[in-house]
Homo-oligomer: A and B are copies of this chain.
Amino acid sequence: MVKLALLGAGRIGNIHGRNVLLNPEAELVALYDPYQPNADQLSKVLGCEQMTPQQMFADPTIDGVLVCSATDTHADLIEQAVAAGKHVFCEKPIDLSLPRVQEVVAKIKASKIISMLAFNRRFDANFAALQQRIAAGEIGEVEMVSVISKDPSPPPVEYIKVSGGLFRDMTIHDFDMARFLLGEEVVDVSAQASCLVDAAISDAGDVDTALVMMRTASGKLAQISNSRRASFGYDQRFEVHGSKGMLTATNVNEHTLTSYTEAGVTRAKPLHFFLERYEQAYRSELAGFISALNGADLVLPSMDDGYQALRLAEAAILSVQQGRSVAVSEIGLADVQPNRE
């Protein structure tokens, strides 16, 4: 039985904490949140005690920590976990600064802990099956990957101001999925972006609508389309075109009813947003981490996957700024070396 501690009792901490309860192979022994009402409420629901991070890292009975705290604390907490020899499950992002992420990844690589960056979409049963069928050669060689990714409505501008911007905050998932489905590293990135949804987003220095094109060394292509607003709900689709055919993954809808009336034929909208859409994926990603701690030999999204996705985001930002295709090799290091301290 794996013993876990939870750092952060906000919305995402609630999800992961409750999912530990549903998993028979793990136990949540402690949680921490600097906002005491959150900590009190969730520790009561989960029936676990409260500890400070220092206590968690010092407690020899705790096997791993779930980093679900504010974004700007992730990197420090991961480093402390590494230092304490605790396994780490971390909500994305590691950090919004590429050099900082590079440092963290270097330390992770030098350590023996099991770590995972929680790119939840890889664990959606549909998308996981999509990647497996592609990898099994069902459509021959992958040639073009299309990622359609739109949120139902933009987050508050206050959030946007600290989010790192559309490419680092939202497209980051799409960059990861593009890498996951391409099966090959991207070498060139171009992007175009606009602020069409809300002028306040532009005032905050960000964009809300964007396109990205990418190319791998062997010439495979990928495209991403993003909007912060889709009035019909959360739009999360993939199309992968290969030499022998195409595989698509469509949205998951609210229900299976269709209405046929004089006005037309109407079916359900997509599930509204990520909490509904990725409910199963959240359970599965945590189950993957727990299984790995129990000795299973699984390929989990790594801290390095987080680093590589962030490189693509940085390349896209540079492409928009400079109106040119950006070589990923211009951004950071292709291969972060282990930090031998």
Q: Is B227 touching A241 in the complex (CB atoms < 8 A)?
A: yes
Please choose the segment from A158-166, A260-268, A286-294 that sits at the chain B interface, where 4 or more of its residues have CB less than 8 A away. A260-268
Instruction: Select A252's contact among B133, B146, B231, B256, beta carbons within 8 Å.
Output: B256
Known: A219-B196, A325-B190. A232 touches B209 (CB 8 A): no
Tell me if A339 is interfacial: C-beta within 8 Å of chain B. no
Q: Is A260 touching B269 in the complex (CB atoms < 8 A)?
A: yes
Residue interface mask A18-54, B partner, CB < 8 A = 1: 0000000000000000000000000000000000000
Tell me if A340 is interfacial: C-beta within 8 Å of chain B. no
Tell me if A244 is interfacial: C-beta within 8 Å of chain B. yes
Q: Is B227 touching A138 in the complex (CB atoms < 8 A)?
A: no
Interface residues on A, range: 35 or more
Q: Is B213 touching A255 in the complex (CB atoms < 8 A)?
A: no
Tell me if A210 is interfacial: C-beta within 8 Å of chain B. yes
Q: Which chain B residue has the least Cβ–Cβ distance from A229?
A: B243
Tell me if A94 is interfacial: C-beta within 8 Å of chain B. no
Tell me if A184 is interfacial: C-beta within 8 Å of chain B. no
Chain copies in complex: 4
Q: Is A225 touching B260 in the complex (CB atoms < 8 A)?
A: no
Tell me if A112 is interfacial: C-beta within 8 Å of chain B. no
Instruction: Select A190's contact among B148, B190, B251, B269, beta carbons within 8 Å.
Output: B190
Bound form: Cα–Cα A164–B190 in Å = 25
Q: Is the interface of A mostly helix, strand, loop or mixed?
A: strand
Chain A, 188-207, CB within 8 A of any chain B CB: 188, 190-197
Shortest Cβ distance from residue A114 to the other chain B in the assembled complex, whole angstroms = 28
Tell me if A107 is interfacial: C-beta within 8 Å of chain B. no
Residue interface mask A131-153, B partner, CB < 8 A = 1: 00100001101011010101000
- In the complex, what residues of B have CB within 8 A of residue A193's CB? 221
Which of the listed residues A219, A245, A323 has the most CB atoms from chain B within 10 Å of its own CB? A245
- Cβ-closest 8 pairs across A and B: A194-B219, A245-B261, A232-B260, A324-B324, A323-B325, A246-B260, A264-B266, A266-B266
Given contacts A192-B325, A264-B267, A323-B325, 12 further A-B contacts (CB under 8 A): A129-B257, A143-B194, A144-B209, A144-B227, A194-B221, A209-B221, A211-B213, A230-B260, A231-B244, A250-B256, A253-B265, A323-B324
